[in-house]
Amino acid sequence: MHVGAENQVHAMEFLEYAYLQVGADQKAEQMVREQAAIGYDQVDKNLVDYLDRTRANSPAMYFLEMRQWRKAADLKPDLQAQPYNQAVTYWARAVAAGHLRNAAAAREAVRQFEAMVEATKRGPHAFRAQYMDVKHDEAAAWLAFTEDRNDEALKLLRAVSDRLDIEGKGEVELPAREMLADMLLEMGRPEEALAEYERSLKIDPNRFNGLYGAARAAELVHHSEKATNYYARLLQNCANGAHSDRPELAHAKSMIAKK
């Protein structure tokens, strides 16, 4: 039963990620609920830490992928979880606060994340602190963005993106380069954003937000054929039974209809 529960949680992580890329929003949300419902008594005691991580990561990824920034910003960590697992929630809150242009919330999220790093260093799993720097730098970048320190924000995200291009990222993690492109788009620099979206899509192809971001950036710089192609790919990916009211799909449909 314990092994089955571990495999079940692992499968749910991948299913949630996959559903989000094809606009199967309700199925993705169901995975979030089901992961949250798995009890500690259903897993081996050695897997409790893994369950805590997925419980933190699952809603964080769902709200960030769905661009539901306020819900991501309101996430609460499990105070019984190890600090490095709580840090996942503070990372999500920092990213969301960046998109909301809420400097105070971003500053507090980064402060809490850094406190989790220090607590991890003092705890029994101190070695895990070295793996927290990617999310720390992403969180710090969004804080810098809210404080109009754009050069610093971009420098942080470019460094993370370049590093992960070489080392690779987790299979169900957000691509840092896509995040960099998002930030450039928010800064009103769509041509640079388009280049970063396209680089990201070469490594993580057919991501919902990557395709939409590339299409939107291309649209803003009047690369109409490229925009149409990316919008069409997004709609094709989401065509098989997806029931989604995401505004990105509505915009993609309206742009294709004009052609």
Summarised one tens digit per residue, pLDDT across range 137-146 is 999 999 999 9
Predicted confidence (pLDDT) at residue 246 exceeds the cutoff of 60: yes
Q: Whole-prediction pTM value?
A: 0.95
Summarised one tens digit per residue, pLDDT across range 18-27 is 999 999 999 9
Report all structural domains of the chain as residue ranges with CATH numbers, in order of start: 1-66 (no CATH), 69-174 (no CATH), 190-259 (1.25.40)
Predicted confidence (pLDDT) at residue 3 exceeds the cutoff of 70: no
Out of 32-41, 152-161, 202-211, which region has the weakest mean confidence (pLDDT)?
32-41
Long-range contacts of residues 5-14, Cβ cutoff 8 Å, at least 24 apart: 5/38, 5/42, 5/43, 5/47, 6/43, 6/44, 6/47, 6/50, 8/38, 9/35, 9/38, 9/43, 9/50, 9/51, 9/54, 12/54, 12/58, 13/54, 13/57, 13/58, 13/172, 14/171, 14/172
Report pLDDT for 2: 47
